Amino acid sequence: MLLENLAFPEVEAYLKEKNVILIPVGSVEQHSPYGLIGTDFIAAECIARETGKRMGIMVAPTLAYGISPHHMAFSGSATLMPETLILVVGDIVKSFLSHGFRRIFFINGHGGNVNSIETGLQRLKADNYPGIFGMISWYDYPEMVDIGRELFDGKEGSHATPSEVAVTRCLRPKEFGTKATIELEIEKPEHHWPLSAEEMRQFFPDGRMGSAPWLATESKGKMVIERSVDALEKKLRKIIAMPLADSSKVQK
């Protein structure tokens, strides 16, 4: 059930039954010569929408942009500043709360977003906004570590990973005719963190970080999606079953 395709009476009808909404969030950043600049939001959107379809819960429009300052020495990347995302997270959650949503989850596709999303949610809780909020990264369950080992020989690395590239190959196969496919060395240089844009390009000149994206295939992408949707569904069912605090006792 996609919010963007509904009219307001349909949202009101949904809110009589349920109060859950998923918000996919990604990044607009280089994913090496092997992957799409939209990788993170394309993957997060697909996994959120598949899970929403399976569970009969609403999915909000995707927040495509994220925190990517360290990718800015690679053409095409665009970044929010951490403060911006903190505010955007707060504004989106407050908007949905005002209509009666009470279980609001960001389905994240980009590691760089984690701190800002969590900070945004913590600020809402510090101000006593009612509800259960959360951020779940689709690639970050024990099940996904297993799949990295099974399908990609443990060569996931941490950026332009074969899992995420496989997901996008499965979803947008026509876009890969012009992308790199050759096998290279996997280098894992010692580096500090965080990195500036120039440092990132010096340490990781082709934009990969210890990954083997040439191992990505459409069929493996399908398996990654299925496994991640299974894991996300399991996790969400647990959180959604938690009781809400009595909102009459808190402000707002």
Q: How far is the CB of 237 from Zn ion (least distance, A)?
A: 26
DSSP for 65-96 reads ----GGGTTSTT-B---HHHHHHHHHHHHHHH
Stretch of 64-72, 88-96, 164-172, 243-251 contacting Zn ion, by CB under 5 A: 164-172
**For 191, how many CA atoms within 13 A lie in the half-sphere containing its CB?**
16
Measured from the CB atom, the residue of 14 and 152 that comes closer to Zn ion is 152
Taking CB under 5 A as the rule, does residue 40 contact Zn ion? Answer: yes
Nearer to Zn ion, 39 or 62 (CB): 39
Quick one: which of 160, 174, 146 has its CA closest to 40?
160
Q: Which helix (H) or strand (E) holds 24?
A: strand 20-25
Residue numbers 4-33 binding Zn ion by CB under 5 A: none
Amino acid code (one letter) for 245: A
156 lines the binding site for Zn ion (CB under 5 A): no
Per CB under 5 A, 45 contacts Zn ion: no
Residue 50 in the binding site for Zn ion (CB under 5 A)? no
Q: Is the peptide bond before 194 cis (omega within 30 degrees of 0)?
A: yes
DSSP 113: G
- AA letter at 232: L
- Closest approach, Cβ 244 to Zn ion, in A, equals 33
Comparison of 45 and 164: residue with beta carbon closer to Zn ion: 164
**Which chain residues interact with Zn ion by CB under 5 A?**
39-40, 164
